[in-house]
Structure 1
Amino acid sequence: MPPRRTHPVVNRALAALIEQAGWTHAATARHVNAVAAESGERVHYDRSAVGHWLTGTIPRPEAVGAAVEAFRRRLGRPGLRPAHLGWPEPGTPPSADDPWRGDPVARLAVLGEDDLLNRRTVLTAGTFTLAALSGLSRLSAHRAQGRAAARRAGAGDVERIRATTRAFADLDDRYGGGHGRAAVAAYLSREVTPLLHGTSGRRRPDLFAAAAELSYLAAYMAMDAGAHALAQRYYISSVRLADEAADLLLRATALRSMAVQAAELGHDGEALALAEAASSALAGHGPARTQAWITGMRAEAHAAAGTRWDALSLLRHTESQLERADSVPESEWTGNYRRESLEHQIGLTLTQLGDHATAARHFAASMRARRPVELRTRALIGLRAAHAFLRAGEVDRAAATVLDLSDDIRLISSARVRDELRGLRAAWQPHRGNALVTRADRAVAG
């Protein structure tokens, strides 16, 4: 029952949306807090705060953005604006902040600089939003024409960017997305984007492709660090730069990783749409290894959407595609997909289907096969294995898995790893009487 109110409801638009959502005031506050947390903004609203909003109080801008996004998701209305909640619109017109419009190079330059300077405009005001995903349908792959030539890109420019991207990617693999992100943002905004302005010549597509790869890495690192709004915009920049390079493989790569982000945030319908868009971008062409990488994501997304047989069929297709791959994984920057990657994908898909015992075995196989450089990935998948073992009733094996990972976990700066660990520690609370669980919990505490 709603609390007895002493002040009249002034904001009837907000009251109507709360009723449509089927939320209590406390539930409304929880959803706003959760959306804000996705972009690093820690707010702690409760039902009394919602009561104040109903009686005319306008929350802070970051809370307005989070509330709008929470209702978009609940009601399936990506076009919802602050005005629909009875709050004033921000001063900037909505279209001006549409990441799918405008000069992609100029947008990337601003994005990288804002990231580097830790500006709230990009890190918190822009929550990961379903509205941004709707822009994908308006933009087909193309190469923009008609920019004035300021300089000619050379092969050396392209190789330097790609060598630097590889170095940053190795750091990310070892220590997580929270390590070295400022250096990536600085290199992207101050070294790479100036090369893109007005460049011409036959190396122009290669230069834009190299920039798209670096933007993709920046997105992946931001996502791993928990800065989901920032990651979403970097991914969109990667898609747009790939389009400038007329590189469908890169476009598919970015869309596939956007599907991963949507899936990890619980947006199952959007994850499926993005995975299918990645597949459509390749249209059955491209390296078999990359096709397998995308098909595996489609399997996971179908499992989350509840289409079990489609998911299992796609998993079989993924394995077949991977078996046909005729290049070593290291030769392909996009879709660097190995057998251990497939084991992880099978584990994620089976988790969605509720088969935790089998998922645990696949997660464990993936973890064991990881190379020494993949410290973060090994820890993340190991924690997922432990959680699956726990759900399957294998408590000792879950605890032993975490104990084996405890030294590595302390080295890693990754919000995804922290969140997985936090969820696991909460899940094994009923088993704290188990001596092995107690040891494991102490080993990873703090």
Structure 2
Amino acid sequence: MIARTGCTYGRIAEMTNRVGGEDGADLRCAASSLGRWLNGTIPMPAVMAAAVEAFARLLDRPGLTAADLGWPTETIPPPDDPWHGDPVAWVAHLGRDDMLNRRTALTSGLYSLAAATLPDRSHKITDRTGPARRAGQSDAERIRTATEHFGVLDDMYGGGHARSAVAAYLTHDVAPLLRGTTGRARPALFLAAAELTYLAGWMAADSMRTGLAQRYYVQSVRLAEEAEDPIMRSTALRSLAVQAIELGHNRAGRDLADAAADGIKAGSPVRTRAWITGMCAEAHAAASHDRHRARSLLRKAEADLDRADSLPESELFGNYRRTSFNHQVGLTLAQLGDLRGAEEHFAVSVGSRLTVERRSRALIGARLAHVQLRQRHPEQAANTLIGLSDDLAVVSSERTRRILTEIRRTWQPLLTVPKVGEADRLLATLPKP
């Protein structure tokens, strides 16, 4: 298999570490590790799982298993495909693992590049075994209300706060209602479940539990398909695209963003369409650096946003506002290498955030500081972070923490600059998510 990749031992080790790092695991695989594997050493399960995914990517073989590499299959079972099987069973399984904070990351917990590809056809399941529960419109409304409350907590304190509560609610209250449910309320109930599953994925992604988040998002897509709600389906596909771009899988992210846009062409809220079109701009900028295409999509998103006829608060997701659009423009320009333009838009987005949007302010503020530092303006970056101290102190976001860690690593030679030293000491005192 090593020979078939055409890669050096060092390159394969690097890919293995990257796969583990996507889910927050600090693996220390090196070229010498592959030599030991060839001599018969069996790697630890977490390393083995990451290596299997690394080989699958390098060889473009999504179904690759540990056995294909000559390792015992009982150590890590073959990964399950989240696009197959019963999404209700998937949600219950994911919720249990999340609730207990278990990293079933051997195979099922790692981010899978294969799972970032849409299947040729959906696998809907309309009949389920197990005890039926009587459920109606009131159950759907109750789930939506809970989702809104959990969403407020996420906005204020980040994905690391209350995620286990969301997982418990999904597992113990929502999933049982979906089994055997029939009648007029069924679509509304599955839509409400898709929304809550989507939020669980969003929170897991903010905690850098990337494999878990990906599987939540996929099940949100599939639950939305059972609810026959194309807007919710596109919403979940959009977040799969966001995740792929953030992890550097740009072509997969572009394809997912395009699929999200394809699903909302007719009859969707204009505001939601603007939200998804803006993501397409970032995805195309990342995948092809096509300035013309990216800027054209941004103009289209802005035009839709300007003529949106619904209030942002009327939509649970896709409640796109000008401040969110500025963040999207900043991300797109950063992908195109326009750091000055990205800085301007990030700054506007941070400055116009609502009081409750602490997590967004912290994350975008960290991105603003990082862009300033990349332009060799360390004191500006330091001042930006010092101004965010109240938000950074209470937000539990591993995504934000990773950016801050990179900033601290970059400005180490500049700690004698007073403002930089002050900001670095502030970051050193922040609690870990």
* TM-score normalized by the length of structure 2: 0.93
State how far apart, in whole Å, the 2-side matches of 1:398 and 1:39 are: 27
1:337 to 2:328 alignment: no
Ranges in structure 1 where 5+ consecutive residues have no aligned partner: 1-12
Q: Contact (CA 8 Å) 1:212, 1:239: kept in 2 or not?
A: yes
Q: Contact (CA 8 Å) 2:272, 2:320: kept in 1 or not?
A: yes
Partner of 1:35: 19
1:216 to 2:198 alignment: yes
1:108 to 2:59 alignment: no
Partner of 2:226: 244
Q: Contact (CA 8 Å) 2:86, 2:125: kept in 1 or not?
A: no
SS in 1 for 2:394: coil
Identity %: 55
Alignment of 1:126-165 (within 5 A): 126-134=109-117, 136-140=118-122, 144-147=125-128, 150-165=132-147
Shift of 1:75: 4.4
State how far apart, in whole Å, the 2-side matches of 1:93 and 1:393 are: 47
Q: Contact (CA 8 Å) 1:208, 1:244: kept in 2 or not?
A: yes
Report which stretch shifted further, 366-375 or 428-437: 428-437
1:216-248 alpha-carbon deviations (Å, 9 max, x no partner): 000000110111111111111101110110000
Report which stretch shifted further, 153-162 or 373-382: 153-162
Aligned residues: 427
1:324 to 2:294 alignment: no
Q: Contact (CA 8 Å) 1:123, 1:230: kept in 2 or not?
A: no
Q: Contact (CA 8 Å) 1:39, 1:124: kept in 2 or not?
A: no
SS in 2 for 1:236: helix
State how far apart, in whole Å, the 2-side matches of 1:123 and 1:276 are: 31
1:189 to 2:164 alignment: no
Name the amino acid aligned to 2:159.
G
Partner of 2:330: 347
Alignment of 1:2-401 (within 5 A): 13-14=1-2, 16-17=3-4, 20-21=6-7, 23-25=8-10, 27-90=11-74, 94=78, 97-121=80-104, 125-134=108-117, 136-140=118-122, 144-147=125-128, 150-305=132-287, 306-401=289-384
State how far apart, in whole Å, the 2-side matches of 1:103 and 1:124 are: 19
1:396-429 alpha-carbon deviations (Å, 9 max, x no partner): 2211101101232121111101001111122223
Q: Contact (CA 8 Å) 1:289, 1:336: kept in 2 or not?
A: yes
State how far apart, in whole Å, the 2-side matches of 1:92 and 1:354 are: 41
State how far apart, in whole Å, the 1-side matches of 2:40 and 2:124 are: 48
Name the amino acid aligned to 2:12.
T
* TM-score normalized by the length of structure 1: 0.90
Q: Contact (CA 8 Å) 2:133, 2:176: kept in 1 or not?
A: no
State how far apart, in whole Å, the 2-side matches of 1:285 and 1:266 are: 32
Shift of 1:81: 3.2
Shift of 1:92: 8.2
Name the amino acid aligned to 1:118.
N
Q: Contact (CA 8 Å) 1:252, 1:281: kept in 2 or not?
A: yes
State how far apart, in whole Å, the 2-side matches of 1:435 and 1:119 are: 42
Q: Contact (CA 8 Å) 2:241, 2:252: kept in 1 or not?
A: yes
User: Could you say if the C-alpha distance between residues 381 and 291 of structure 1 is closer, same or farther in structure 2, counting changes exceeding 3 Å?
Assistant: same
Q: Contact (CA 8 Å) 1:243, 1:251: kept in 2 or not?
A: yes
Q: RMSD of the alignment, in Å?
A: 2.1
State how far apart, in whole Å, the 1-side matches of 2:133 and 2:9 are: 59
Shift of 1:276: 0.6
Q: Contact (CA 8 Å) 1:39, 1:226: kept in 2 or not?
A: yes
Q: Contact (CA 8 Å) 2:382, 2:420: kept in 1 or not?
A: yes
Q: Contact (CA 8 Å) 2:160, 2:204: kept in 1 or not?
A: yes
SS in 1 for 2:119: helix
Q: Contact (CA 8 Å) 1:364, 1:385: kept in 2 or not?
A: yes
